[in-house]
Amino acid sequence: MKEQQNTWEQVDRYTEELLIPHDEVLEAVLSNNQQAGLPAIDVSPSQGKLLQLLIQMKGAARILEIGTLGAYSTIWMARALPQEGKVVTLELDPHHAEVARQNIRVAQLEERIEVRVGDALDQLDAMKKEGVSSFDFIFIDADKPNNPHYLEWALEFAHPGTVIIGDNVIREGKVIDEHEADPRVIGVRTFLELMSKKSRISATVVQTVGVKGYDGFVLGIVN
């Protein structure tokens, strides 16, 4: 397994060097996150670029992100937006949110990104009461036990054509173990099973390997 992981990481580095130009701002964001003590669970550069490309392919102008951390993925996505585009990103931890805001200032994207702090389910309920408009692209990358609830809210804020992506749904293959007691795995299984029952969304799962190990994401489009 260690040999496989080394190969996955080397391939990621090779393709990143070829296809993803060095970016001092994004490097500074990761450095700031590390210095601030944030967990190193950001998407990889390849995954960030994938999100960016998907947003550009979709032509999205409004993005909802559930789970900000230090705004590394947020910045990747915001850069794909047109000038008038907007990202609304939700973060539970006030310290993470403050680091994210600092990073957003470094990236000079304050006008495109709104960071909302507090429990995501409470924030989503508040957004509904505020009459927040629907989103073209929704990225779910927060606490996995609440993924089923996040899916329900994603559909609440979706319109026909909205793209919904849920990250970290393979869990090193544990997703297929119906006896796994890890709440994160249970949350992911329930999330995928719920998605399969929703006639409003058509979806598939893509397994991935790389610097982040063995995992994957679910990608769906709202009918």
The sign of the torsion formed by the CA atoms of 151, 156, 157, 163 equals positive
Q: Model's pTM, two decimal places?
A: 0.97
What tens-digit pLDDT sequence spans the chain (223 residues)? Answer: 788 999 999 999 999 999 999 999 999 999 999 999 999 999 999 999 999 999 999 999 999 999 999 999 999 999 999 999 999 999 999 999 999 999 999 999 999 999 999 999 999 999 999 999 999 999 999 999 999 999 999 999 999 999 999 999 999 999 999 999 999 999 999 999 999 999 999 999 999 999 999 999 999 999 9
Half-sphere exposure of 160 (CA within 13 A, CB side): 1
Token pair of 74, please? Answer: 């947020």
Kind and range of the H or E element at 129?
Answer: helix 120-130
The answer to whether 78 and 113 have CB atoms below 8 angstroms apart is: yes
